Amino acid sequence: MTSPKRKSPAQLQAQCEAWNKANPVGTLVSFEEIRGCGETFRGKTASEADVAGGHTAIIFLEGKRGYVSLDHCTPVAEEAATDTMSL
């Protein structure tokens, strides 16, 4: 089994720019501590996405200490969040 290829700094920057264009600060996201194992946290973004250390696309989330990998975050439609809260 081969390990996944690391993204180049240019790819990471493009990932952040695309995220920031589509998801303003305050966007509700689902965060998975371990990708593929299900949501472990849901909260709003507290910053724009950025590249940390030249190797990871990151973002800060309200209610979470430190930054998290952007690869572990998925935007959640506000309607879905409202429907879940009314259950």
Q: Is the pLDDT of residue 30 over 90?
A: yes
Q: What are the DSSP E strand ranges found in 4-86?
A: 28-31, 41-44, 50-52, 56-60, 67-69, 73-75
pLDDT of 2 strictly over 80: no
Class for the domain spanning 9-82? mainly beta
| 36-78 pLDDT per residue, tens | 888 789 999 999 999 999 999 999 999 999 999 999 999 998 6
pLDDT of residue 39: 79
pLDDT reported for residue 41? 94
Provide the mean pLDDT of the chain: 88
Q: How far is CA 75 from the centre of its chain?
A: 7
Is a pLDDT exceeding 90 seen at residue 83? Answer: no
